[in-house]
Chains A and B, each alone.
Chain A
Amino acid sequence: MSETKPVKYVNTPICVDFDYTPGKATSNFLRSIKKGQLIGSVCPDTGKVYCPPRSYSVETASPMTEIVELADTGMVYTFCIVNIKFYDQAQEVPYVSAYILLDGADLPIMHLIQECEVEDIRPGMRVKAVWRDESEWTESMENIKYFKPTGEPDAPVGEIMENIRSKSHA
């Protein structure tokens, strides 16, 4: 047998367009954030406030009809420091992705933290949303550019998270 060369790659571009339907609860959230307001939904069984809101409780499947407005301030629950860029990444490294528990919410949302040294970021650190200019607001989470430290004293993160967990149905 003569020596064969492997076919190293085939180029088969695929493009399929989808017209996504976010559903009632997420549509409500997106309409709200366009106006600069964060909202959550309340579980009728546990009292937990979910942000972003859902139509049905994640823990009990009960319909969640009560909507509450939430502050754009909160605390860092946990975070990571990204040091290596991935393909097409717009963010300059190092940057920080964090789970942020908004004041009044029981489920943290993911966002960026900037305007501070990465080594200063810690669980319990108080942060506040930095919004884009109002003229740029759309139905997008990107209306918030990132969160920045407020300089307030740290929140008791362990106590707060323990309190949230105790709301769960056994």
Chain B
Amino acid sequence: MRDIAIIAFGQTENKRTERLLNEAEMIAPVVGDLLKSVGLKRTDIGFTCSGSSDYLAGQPFSFVMALDALGAWPPINESHTEGETAWALYETWVKMQADEEIETALIYGFGRQSMGSPREVMTLMNNPYLEAPIQPDTISQAALQARVMIDKGIATEKDFAEVAVRNLKHAKSNPLAQCSGDFDAETLLKDPTIASPLRKHDCPPITDGACAIIMAAGDKARELCKRPAWIRGIEHRIDVQALGQRDLSECPSAKLAAEAAGVSKGKVDIAELHAPFTPQDIILQKALGLGDDTVINPSGGIHQGNPMMGTSLVRIGEVANRIINGEADRGVAHGSQGPCLQQNIVTVLEGE
């Protein structure tokens, strides 16, 4: 297996609404600054891959328009994942395993939930014939999952609130965070429910943002970065489509992905979990086998910002950055998409 590392990560500020810029205008400064930070020119990049969704953008081929941000001339070696960007990073990793001529790669993701109504847009990911017409939105679906957890005695509404309290506290040290602060669970529980048992603090913020990562292989990574964050394992699994077929209080696909990626092969200093809703944070900690010695979501997790489709890449980037700057030695980044954590990807990163 070829050694491949993340050598740089950057992102825009997480904003509720970006009204001035279009996609290319959001991405270009992020990519430009990132290339400069590792001393590469855009023409040095061997492979480029992005993640986004036309449903969120409300326009076809939004990823093609985003190419304006790259200066794709002469024509570049490029691909795109219609979905969360962690899967674009996975595609890149596979590509770099297969093609040893590729020494560096750029992965970028972007999402702008503000342009549409996320609850309506996200219903369209369900079965188009039988489910989507009755509009089961993401919050309702996550509430079903939360209800199963309460009924089985796995967690309480206070446990859910504690996840938000922890994330928002961690987000205070994140200069790009959209939401942060000191809260206590008792106070949060006084809020009304949006879809019982979920309250506002249990749900992800609506965010516009973009992010990018540069990867490099072997000695090229060591040349460009003092302490690269090496990818020791990266695996993804998917659960069945119909929610009724799953025990929603568990996430077997995340568990299998974590086992395959080798999460338990060493101490996990930090973990970033792509849990859009607070109950899913509790499910994922168990599925990934994370214990008390792991700091969960040091960046503030989903609560600090949710540039959907880029969010999973931010999780990888936040872990990588802490390894690159020496704060952590080994970390786990989780990404997800689909209703109630249907698809899961787990990346294990380690410093040398």
Which residues of A are in contact with B by a Cβ distance under 8 Å?
A: 10, 12, 14, 16-26, 54-63, 168-170
* Cross-interface CB contact of A16 among B18, B42, B121, cutoff 8 Å: B121
The smallest beta-carbon distance between B173 and chain A, in angstroms, is: 30
The smallest beta-carbon distance between A86 and chain B, in angstroms, is: 16
Quick check: is B242 within 8 A (CB to CB) of the other chain? no
Q: For the complex, what is the distance from the CA of A60 to the CA of B28, rounded to whole Å?
A: 11
Contact between A58 and B132, CB atoms less than 8 A apart: no
Quick check: is B59 within 8 A (CB to CB) of the other chain? yes
Residues of chain B contacted by A56 (CB below 8 angstroms): 24-25, 28, 68-69, 71
The smallest beta-carbon distance between B19 and chain A, in angstroms, is: 6
Chain B residue, CB-CB nearest to A58: B68
The smallest beta-carbon distance between B281 and chain A, in angstroms, is: 29
Q: For the complex, what is the distance from the CA of A58 to the CA of B20, rounded to whole Å?
A: 20
Which residues of B are in contact with A by a Cβ distance under 8 Å?
A: 18-25, 28, 31-32, 42, 57-59, 68-74, 112, 114-117, 120-121, 124, 128-129, 132-133
Residues of chain B contacted by A10 (CB below 8 angstroms): 129
Contact between B25 and A55, CB atoms less than 8 A apart: yes
Residues of chain A contacted by B69 (CB below 8 angstroms): 56, 61
Contact between A58 and B28, CB atoms less than 8 A apart: no
The smallest beta-carbon distance between A43 and chain B, in angstroms, is: 10
Q: For the complex, what is the distance from the CA of A62 to the CA of B73, rounded to whole Å?
A: 12
* Cross-interface CB contact of B22 among A12, A18, A22, cutoff 8 Å: A22
Residues of chain A contacted by B112 (CB below 8 angstroms): 21
Contact between B58 and A18, CB atoms less than 8 A apart: yes
Contact between B71 and A61, CB atoms less than 8 A apart: yes
Contact between A24 and B20, CB atoms less than 8 A apart: yes
Residues of chain A contacted by B72 (CB below 8 angstroms): 58-59
Residues of chain A contacted by B58 (CB below 8 angstroms): 16, 18, 20
Contact between A23 and B24, CB atoms less than 8 A apart: yes
Q: Which of A12, A14, A23, A54 has the largest number of chain B CB atoms within 10 A? A: A23
* Cross-interface CB contact of A55 among B19, B28, B71, B133, cutoff 8 Å: B28
Residues of chain A contacted by B129 (CB below 8 angstroms): 10, 12
